[in-house]
Structure 1
Amino acid sequence: MRRWVFAALVAAAAPAHADWTGKGEAGLVFASGNTDTETANAKLQLTHESDSWKNTLGGAALYASDEEGKTANRWEVFGQTDWKFTQRNFLFGAGRYEEDEFSGFEYQATASYGIGRRFFDTPTTKMIGTLGAGYKFFETRDSFDEETGVLIEEGDSDSEVVFRGTLDLDHQFTATTNLINKFIVESGADNTFVQNDLSLQVKMTDVLALALGYSVRYNSNPPAEFEETDTLTTINLVYDIK
């Protein structure tokens, strides 16, 4: 299912010309010899905007392995619809679903709504924030002792009300260099999820850029044996869909 969903998102980029715009990026690393490693990551985001509405959809995937097996395996899809009731303010409805084999959660799915504002919207700086509430469904994985293999904690399904906030920044330093930061927090009684993606992009052509990225993901209450924080550093090729 994971491959089919992400393939559908990639296929959606095909007709994205006059009406849809966006970015797709990917990076691959292969090493062999004394160590054998494979790492791949991909992202896609598409946007359609009119005078009153803005629709965004996208997805991301990460896979890594070494001689002992998989070390990362994650994918997510997301979507958001904005209704602009003033030039800078809007109401939104959003959804997000992810599966991460190494996070301690089988899946996390969130549906939310709220209000947003364009704080800055100039040719060089764009900053957009949202604040809202929603409902999250999630399932935790079984936890085992690393030394004995004994079951520590059984996985369980649950749901909760969450408060959601986002802050997106895109600042253009020069004609070819952009700093992009995307922040999201989903906070509930059982768990708080935080993700921050920072990227420095340098254009090589009108449609191609090189991006150096650093991502931090945090779950405040993962199952036993699993870490709270994951980080990822990437060097990707970015393609502008126009």
Structure 2
Amino acid sequence: MYRKCVSAALAAAMLVSFPALAQDAPTSESQWTGSGELGLTSATGNARTQNINALLAVGLDEGRWHHDASAFWLRSRGEVDTSTRTGSTSAMEDTANRYGVAFSSAFDLSERSYLIGSLRYDHDNFASYLWRGVAAASYGYRWRDDARMRLVTEIGPGFRRSHDTSTGAVENEGIARGLVDFSWQLSDNTRLLDTFLVESGRLNTFVQNDLGLQVSMTERLALKAGYQVRYNSDVDPGFKKTDTVTMLNLVYSVK
């Protein structure tokens, strides 16, 4: 099932690797970075709800090469009333269950520009697409990237493979991928972050925006309030085009 998606992923990675073969990258000490986020909520009484979201991100810088990997999980459970002939009952049921992984490798062409190959997979039990895999090769440019502000854009072609929840059909299509990564240090301990991703093809246009405000408590611990919007232009009957998630997470970072 995944052979075509894997082949496309390898092709995207090769496209990024070819420029590196033509020139020697400067050697430097490898530098690892990492962060983890976790948010938990639980309510009891007149209504019962349980929610959890988690994110793990790891980065490795090796001279002109930059590698990033991440994984996320979102799950919500709520009390649902069910009517029967003998009355009504209530039980805890899943209302959201989404998880995914992503990986990218970038090679610097200059101080500001780079080529990047990216892979992304997500699975959602409550969406029009049960799962989706994307491979893309893009050109990136750092408009500004310092301690106070970061503005980076990426654009390029890709391939998407999706599983339609209602019909069970697997759809393949070429896409155009664009990304804007922005952050701004508002004060010594407060940072605004926003990541905008669009993947547009003939069958569907997917848009995701992650907005966050992070307040550092110590060198490694921070609190982060986040708001995520996900949009699909083409969905099956009974599904909404837009999903939103509001989060308050504890963040642990290693640099």
Q: Distance in 2 between matches of 1:105 and 1:96?
A: 14
| 1:46 matched to 2:58 | yes
Q: CA deviation at 1:19?
A: 3.1
Q: Distance in 1 between matches of 2:215 and 2:180?
A: 22
Q: In terms of Rg, which structure is larger?
A: 2
Q: Distance in 2 between matches of 1:162 and 1:241?
A: 35
1:215 equivalent among 223, 228, 234: 228
TM-score normalised according to structure 2 size: 0.82
| 1:227 matched to 2:240 | yes
TM-score normalised according to structure 1 size: 0.86
1:75-114 to structure 2, matched below 5 A, reads: 75-114=99-138
Paired amino acid for 2:148: T
Match of 1:145 in 2: none
Q: Distance in 1 between matches of 2:101 and 2:254?
A: 18
Match of 1:136 in 2: 160
1:1-242 to structure 2, matched below 5 A, reads: 19-68=31-80, 69-142=93-166, 154-242=167-255
Moved over 3 A (4+): none
Secondary structure of 1:169's counterpart equals strand
* Deviations, residues 146-193 of structure 1 (Å, cap 9, x unaligned): xxxxxxxx2311110000000101110111000010111000000011
Note the residue ranges of structure 1 that are not aligned, 5 or more in a row.
1-17, 143-153
- Equivalenced residue count is 214
Q: CA deviation at 1:51?
A: 2.1
Paired amino acid for 1:223: D
Secondary structure of 1:174's counterpart equals coil
User: Is this contact kept in 1: 2:150–2:182, CA < 8 A?
Assistant: yes
Note the residue ranges of structure 2 that are not aligned, 5 or more in a row.
1-29, 81-92
Q: C-alpha root-mean-square deviation of aligned residues, in Å?
A: 1.0
Match of 1:146 in 2: none
Q: Distance in 2 between matches of 1:240 and 1:123?
A: 16
Secondary structure of 2:219's counterpart equals coil
User: Is this contact kept in 1: 2:220–2:253, CA < 8 A?
Assistant: yes
